[in-house]
Structure 1
Amino acid sequence: MARIRANGIELEYDTLGNPADPAILLIMGFAFQMTRWPDAFRQGLADAGFHVIRFDNRDIGLSQEMGGFSSYTLNDLAADAAGLLGALGIGRAHIVGMSMGGMIAQLMALDHPHKVSKLVAMMTSSGAPNLPPPTQEALAALTAVPLQRTPEAIADIAVKAQHAIGSAPHLRNSADTIRRYAIEDFRRSDRPFGVIRQFTAIQAQPRWHERLGAIPHPTLVLHGSDDPLVRPAAGEDIARRIPGARFKALPGWGHDLADAMSETLAREITSFLKE
């Protein structure tokens, strides 16, 4: 992994695959570090002939912690992503974003269209105010806070959250795997105030749904049929608003990046990008 200055801040990133291949930029969701992109998923993209770039959003992981009462919106996170490509000397890339990262990807296509080749938005929303809300259980899982900031307590929260919002049992990672990933991430970086600032950025973001008709890029919207946090209707709304966009619901998939979904997601995305 490496660190680079982009959009005026320091971003942690790494790459996989041949730098001469077309670039894919992966944008992670709320509160998660770039390490939660499954290795098998990234390898599938690289094996299909793509140069895969992932990074920690600001305030998370090993990227710059903004500190204090810093405030920003998703527009700033989109500028970070575009700035990262520029800092790496990449003219444009295919953009793949999940959850909050999918929102950032949409804003990147709107605000920095010259940096985007094709757009893939996964388990995310158009931001329209009339969409179905998350279930109460899913919302509680998203906002749960451990009583103590210990690896074990963080892991307990992660297991409960994934059982509330994750894929169907036959696809979802096991409790042991979820626990192991959570502890690995906690030991890599623990940014509770960064998580709060990211949540505030989502709430403070001016709505963008009415702008989506201006996106000129070929777009694929992937959503889990079982997603209780960001309902499939939110993904369908994106596809309706972006000219020519394609929507596909995947059975049994929830609001997670379960290892068992890696092959399916890599296949759906690379097939679309190669069209």
Structure 2
Amino acid sequence: MKITSNSIDIEVEDSGPGAVGEERPVVLLIMGLGMQLVAWPAAFVQALIDAGYRVIRHDNRDVGLSHRFEALGKPRLLLQGLRYKLGLKPQAPYSVADMAADSLGVLDALGIEKAHVLGVSMGGMIAQRIALAAPERVLSLSSVMSTSGAKGLAQAHPKVMRVLLSRPKGRDPQTVLKHYVRLFKAIGSPGFPTPEHEMRERILLGVERGYYPVGTLRQMLAIMADITRPAQLRRITAPTLVLHGKADPLLPFVHGEDTAKRVQGARLVGIEGMGHDLPPGVVTHLLAALLPHLKAAQAQAQFSTPVSDQNPLS
């Protein structure tokens, strides 16, 4: 369904509040760079529902069926990347904080006061921004295969970056599919390989639903420009779980370690053999850590009231 959030249209999937008189605690799931809400594994979503949660997913701006900022044009990544390397702030058409405001607007539109917030990769960065912007609305934070964004951390293997920054040679579904199969094989979990037919099926679903590569470039630039977040993470007050693959070739494990060090009281869980994807074996490990985290945070919520960040979105 479409809702209006932060003055733009956002596509949302909501598992619903449950039976009449039942108020299920909400888990807000936020996807990563260029990824759509359908990228969340069905088994992961269902496990949360079975555990008693109301699960809300949405397409971030500029991806899938949500608002596309076509008037902003194609960003000049090379130029802005050079600015970043020179110590200057890249000029982005919008910010990670804007995407956090979109997510909070989803909760507003659905009449939800508080939620457990979980994001993967770029979604983890957005989730961190939500926890900074509106701590009183975040029951817990879960940052999965994400990063603080701090400079100096180990970078992706050059082979992975070449694939990530490359583009399909055409726009027909099969050519695009071939490109993304190559990408997901490059960043996937060596300890939990996904059968290629399953990978192709999942990727094709997203390609046919809402392929929009220029939006991904604008999202990428927003990530590059989010340079103040590392120093601000110490202000996060929500109970925080950091989940990260020890075999992540895109954001090496040190990114998870750094995030956990910067958030006071955060718990870090490293998963052997996990890369930068969500195959069934990884989902099992994630849930084993996540479900107790959510339960403990839910119990803790009645005893704590976060204090708002005075400058949360800068």
TMscore range, shorter length: over 0.9
**Residue-pair matches, total:** 273
Partner of 1:134: 156
> Match of 1:223, SS?
strand
Alignment map for 1:113-262 (pairs within 5 Å) = 113-168=135-190, 170-262=191-283
Return the match for 1:67 from 67, 70, 75.
70
Over residues 164-192 of structure 1, what are the superposed CA-to-partner deviations in whole Å (9 max), with x where a residue is unaligned?
11101x51211111111111111111212
Following TM superposition, by how much is the alpha carbon of 1:144 offset from its aligned partner in structure 2, in angstroms? 2.1
Instruction: Give the TM-score taking structure 1 as reference length.
Output: 0.96
Q: Is the 8 A contact 1:93 1:116 kept in 2?
A: yes
Provide the residue aligned with 1:7 in structure 2. Answer: 6
TM-score normalized with structure 2 length: 0.84
* Deviation >6 Å, runs of 4+: none
Greater gyration radius: 2
- Aligned residue identity for 2:247: D
| Between 202-211 and 11-20, the greater mean CA deviation after superposition | 11-20
Aligned AA (2:200): R
Deviations 1:146-179 (A, max 9, x none): 00011111111121111111101x5121111111
* Offset, 1:69: 1.6
Matches of 1:240 and 1:182 in 2, distance apart? 34
Kept in 2, the 8 Å contact 1:224–1:249? The answer is: yes
Query: What is the alpha-carbon distance in structure 1 between the residues aligned to residue 293 and residue 268 of structure 2?
Result: 12
Residue identity in the other structure for 2:282: M
Q: In the alignment, is the contact (CA less than 8 A) between 2:269 and 2:289 conserved in 1?
A: no
| In 1, Cα distance between equivalents of 2:187 and 2:245 | 11
Maintained 8 Å contact 1:40/1:263: no
Q: Is the 8 A contact 1:17 1:47 kept in 2?
A: no
Corresponding residue number in structure 2 for 1:77: 99
Q: Sort the Cα spacing of 1:16 and 1:264 in 2 relative to 1 into closer, same or farther, 3 A.
A: farther
Matching residue's letter, 2:248 = D
Superposed CA offset, 1:180-207 (max 9, x none): 1111111111212111111111122233
- Cα-Cα RMSD: 1.2
Structure 2: 5+ residue stretches without partners: 74-92, 297-314
Structure 1 match to 2:15: 16
